[in-house]
Chains A and B, each alone.
Chain A
Amino acid sequence: MARAFLAEWLPLRRRRFVVGTFSATAAVAALGAVLTFMATGGREFYGDYLHTTALSRPSGMVEGLNTISILLGVVGLCVVAAALGGDYSRGTLRNQLMAQPHRLQLFAGKCLALASFVTLVVLAAAAVSVALSFAFAPIKGVSTAAWLSAAGMRELGKGILNNLLNAWGYAVLGAFVAIVFRSPAAAISVGLAYVLPVEIIVTGIWGAAGHWLPGQLLQDIANGGHGYTTAYADATLRVLLYGLVAALVTALLVRYRDMTS
């Protein structure tokens, strides 16, 4: 599995891929931070009104990061679906299976590498978001004293962890659709179509579905359970359950399905 992990990092280290992914992530993180601070002073933001006093709390530092949690999830889904689906559609997975015939070990190593890449993406987004938050805070008159306190550090850690769980959840969905559809285009389009319009429409029509749909639950987790009706612990448990089922089905498909592509 360690070999599969190291081998998967070779394509992930491509300069163009790294620059593209991290540039997009930084841009999105910057957008989130800018919009969060621009929304202070009475502007409506996601149906709420942010006040400078709210941003001055210990959790204010990660508000910008939380606003882009869904985009970080989309990045996680796309990276994993593109990598695994691409291996199928290009036929490179065939070569890799001949070099490492233990399918589950190969798959686990690849997934670990992709998860670590997604982790770096979230950490980069957090770094950009936090840095810009510190830059914008004096402009908007937001006190940063609480951010630098122990409570602020805890909130930062929680915020990053929640966004990591969110991105990993999307990544599991990406792996699932990639293995099912064996094509990056199909995997990304179906995955995004499900978590964005489908879940939003379903939740809009029947609000109670939001307590059970995985995409909605991941948003609850990313925001630490704040402002959503599902409790953090419930959302985490349900997402964990969904994740286990998806991982099991994916593993079974990887292990037993013929490599015909």
Chain B
Amino acid sequence: MTSGEPGRTGRRRRGGTRPAEVREPSTSVFPNLPNLRLPHPLHAHPHLPHPHLPHLPHRHLPHPHLPHRDPHRDPLAGIGRRPDAAIWTRGLTKLHDHRRSVDRLDLDVPVGALSGFVGPNGAGKSTTLRMLLGLIRPSEGIGYVLGEPISHPERYLSHVGAMIEGPTFHPGLSGRENLRQLAVLRGVDNRRIYEVLRMVRLTGRAGDPFATYSLGMKQRLGIAAALLPKPELLILDEPTNGLDPAGIREIRALLRDLADDGMTVFVSSHLLAEIEQICDHVVMIRSGRLLFQGRTGELLAAGDPRILLVPERYADARRLLTVLAEDGVRAEIRLGGTPTVAARSCDQRVMVVAHAPERMAADLNRAAMRAGIALRGLRAHRPSLEETFLRATGGADGDTGTAAPPYRDRRAGYLGDEDDPFGDATLDVYPTEPGQATDAGGGR
């Protein structure tokens, strides 16, 4: 059976009495960033206008970009897959009863990338990884790993190393024996066991039973097991779980080295700072649907960059806001701390947040100078991946099934309430959206 037709029809038959659920296709939450997902080569992307007939309204079909053909019997089914993609899926879907754990996921993970796979709990990350590894069969859609269809995992798994949902080994066997069991199954030389144990710095405890290992050691052993076959593609699910800071740094360096050596690394993690630091490519999903995939830098650049201006005098803040608005820059005033009786200390907490990229910092400085406003401080703030991620996912826990409305900073647009209980000078995680009453300017 392939990953396409039979499973899909079987599921449909069981759910035949239910009306077909028509859902909006996944769209990027970053309107200023071109969605890097490629339309399926055989069917135009459903939410993009037809390239030759742009006037035609697009219709939301239940499965708009699925080829609906068996990729193994029909040689044309997968012809559009990028030859440089280590992981390539189109319309990958997994139904559990009537719930879509993974919903028409189109992945493109380039060969040689160190790619991060992020999403809230229950977003469908592990289910996706299981499908890619042939552990579960997709309900719909097609996928290729290292150029081979996921319905035939035996064709590519000898070149793939993976650790899914934590390290799982026989508790009564030593770390070395556990690796030996997998090495025997894979037909890997015993010397490789020593090599991978050394790579994860576990040689000293390799003879101890797995049950006696700390969480960090178990995690290292899991990574060692994934490295056993000298994989072309390494898939790791939360590889730094349970590791201490030094261990995290080591694993980070190890993954970077592996990627530098040409290995494609696909890392699922909720430690977004880790992903931001090590990954040059990121895939973001929520509720089984793709939110973004592409270069990490592009995602971060699209995440509402801001410039923080601190006027020397508190009274200039409102005037600065007006000046920026005249220049078409959307901005708001924030208080960064609890005001005190002393006017000077109150002044120190006033800042004007301009929603503008870093390259405009000098222009804003000049505009302030022209208006006679002296700035005590001016710095650019680029949102972290965590901020961007929370903004994109609405800060929701996927287990709830629905995305909670994004948390918004209660200080946004603050105009001088001296009872402000927030005392820190850090920025809010969620930037103010256009149209809020207290901001100024039309944005750029």
Contacts and interface: CB of A to CB of B under 8 A. Distances in A.
A3 B187 contact: yes
A102 B158 CA distance: 11
Given A96-B185, A98-B133, A10 B173 contact: yes
A99 B169 CA distance: 13
Given A10-B180, A96-B182, A101-B157, A17 B172 contact: yes
A10 to B, nearest CB: 5
Contacts of B135: 94, 97-98, 258-260
B1 A256 contact: yes
B154 interface: yes
A93 B173 CA distance: 15
7 contacts: A4-B185, A10-B173, A10-B184, A91-B165, A94-B168, A95-B169, A101-B157
Interface string B146-187: 000000011001001010111011111100010011101111
Given A94-B135, A98-B157, A259-B136, A11 B181 contact: yes
Interface string A1-42: 001101100110010110000000000000000000000000
A90 interface: yes
A96 B179 CA distance: 11
Nearest to B180: A10
Interface string B96-140: 000000000000000000000000000000000010011111000
Contacts of A92: 168-170
Contacts of A101: 134, 153-154, 157
Contacts of B136: 258-260
A100 B158 CA distance: 8
Given A10-B173, A95-B225, A100-B186, 8 more contacts: A3-B186, A3-B187, A90-B171, A94-B164, A98-B160, A258-B137, A259-B136, A260-B130
Contacts of A97: 134-135
A100 B177 CA distance: 17
The A contact surface, by secondary structure, is helix
A97 to B, nearest CB: 6
Contacts of A96: 181-182, 185
Contact of B168 (A14, A90, A258): A90
A106 B133 CA distance: 16
**Interface bin, chain B:** 20 to 34
Nearest to B94: A258
Interface string A238-261: 000000000000000000101110
Contacts of A14: 172-173
B126 to A, nearest CB: 10
Contacts of B130: 258-260
Contacts of B229: 99
A74 to B, nearest CB: 22
Contacts of B154: 101-102
B35 to A, nearest CB: 30
B184 A95 contact: no
Contacts of A16: 172
Given A92-B168, A258-B136, A99 B186 contact: yes
Contact of B172 (A11, A99, A106): A11
Interface string B1-21: 100000000000000000000
B169 A100 contact: no
Contacts of B134: 97, 101
A10 B177 contact: yes
**8 closest A-B pairs (Cβ-Cβ)?**
A91-B168, A258-B136, A99-B185, A259-B135, A7-B184, A101-B154, A101-B153, A100-B185
Contacts of B225: 95
Contacts of A106: 185
Interface in A44-101: 90-92, 94-101
Nearest to B235: A98
A16 to B, nearest CB: 7
Contact of B184 (A3, A17, A102, A256): A3
Contacts of A90: 168-171
Contacts of B187: 3
B181 to A, nearest CB: 5
A10 B181 contact: yes
A100 B154 CA distance: 7
A131 to B, nearest CB: 30
Nearest to A97: B135
B87 to A, nearest CB: 15
A97 B225 CA distance: 13
Contacts of B180: 10
B185 A7 contact: yes
Contacts of B153: 101
A98 B154 CA distance: 9
A99 B181 CA distance: 10
Listed residue (B130, B136, B181, B225) with the most chain A CB atoms within 10 angstroms of its CB: B181
B238 to A, nearest CB: 14
Given A16-B172, A258-B135, A260-B136, A99 B182 contact: yes
Contacts of B137: 258
Nearest to A86: B170
Contacts of B133: 98
Listed residue (B162, B170, B184) with the most chain A CB atoms within 10 angstroms of its CB: B184
A11 B228 CA distance: 19
Contacts of A100: 185-186
Contacts of B173: 10-11, 14
A256 B166 CA distance: 24
A4 B172 CA distance: 19
Interface string A117-135: 0000000000000000000
Contacts of A102: 154
Interface string A191-210: 00000000000000000000
A235 B168 CA distance: 42
A259 B130 CA distance: 8
